[in-house]
Amino acid sequence: QVQLEQSGADVKKTGSSVKVSCKTSGYSFTDYVVAWVRQAPGRGLEYMGGIIPLLNAANYAQPFQEGRLSITAVKSTATVYMELSSLRSEDTAIYYCARGVATSKTNWFDTWGQGTLVTVSS
Amino acid sequence: SYLLTQPPSVSVAPGQTARIPCGGDNIGSKSVHWYRQRPGQAPALVVFENSDRPSGVPDRYSGSNSENTATLTINRVEAGDEGDYYCQVWESSNDHRVFGGGTKLTVL
């Protein structure tokens, strides 16, 4: 079965970087987008960006286009990484990876990782 | 960026019908997807492409989409249906996914 397994919780200092992994299994890694969605405490879901592993091409949502976010994929291990730099307190959130299903008309997420809590403090 | 609007909360008695709206400009021209998030869990897909259900989702869940509102309908609501529900669309212009703000469903 399709599974997305994320790395464990992390605590970071303000201004540092965090890297979260998402190891996929149960499907052809290059056939689907893998995206990152975060959820701040008590808040809704925020799309961050995604990557097409076949092309190693990443796409970032507008709040993350200034260069703080990097999404990469390693085909040999079917793993996607999300690295967020210059961390601030408002980056404290649960970070989810999700598999994207695409048609010619739309995209949705059919499988999600379990989430990784990243806490940023001074 | 495209904006999706959901009410913060919807309450319904067990056995009744819950309707959760998702508003957007001409959303009827887009495909809408719905996720349920139970407390402490990751989101899970319950409806895709407006009205299709993944395997394992009961047929009590259905969706519709017309003009400026998409709606998730849950018939014969049970306590296990409680959670936060999010609608989502795809912006073809920039390949971005957009989520609504979420609606908390409470079963009275």
d(Cα B6, Cα A111) in Å, to the nearest integer?
23
pLDDT, tens digit only, all 122 positions of chain A: 999 999 999 999 999 999 999 999 999 999 999 999 999 999 999 999 999 999 989 999 999 988 999 999 999 999 999 999 999 999 999 999 999 998 888 999 999 999 999 999 98
Question: Min CA distance, A61 vs chain B (Å)?
Answer: 7
The pLDDT tens digits for B8-23 are 999 999 999 999 999 9
- Look up residue A8 and give its DSSP letter: P
Question: Min CA distance, B94 vs chain A (Å)?
Answer: 9
Tell me which chain B residues have a C-beta less than 8 angstroms from the C-beta of A96.
42-43
Provide DSSP, A23-84: EEESS-GGGSEEEEEEE-TT---EEEEEEETTTTEEEE-GGGTTTTEEEEEEGGGTEEEEEE
In this predicted structure, the answer to whether residue B70 has a pLDDT above a threshold of 90 is yes
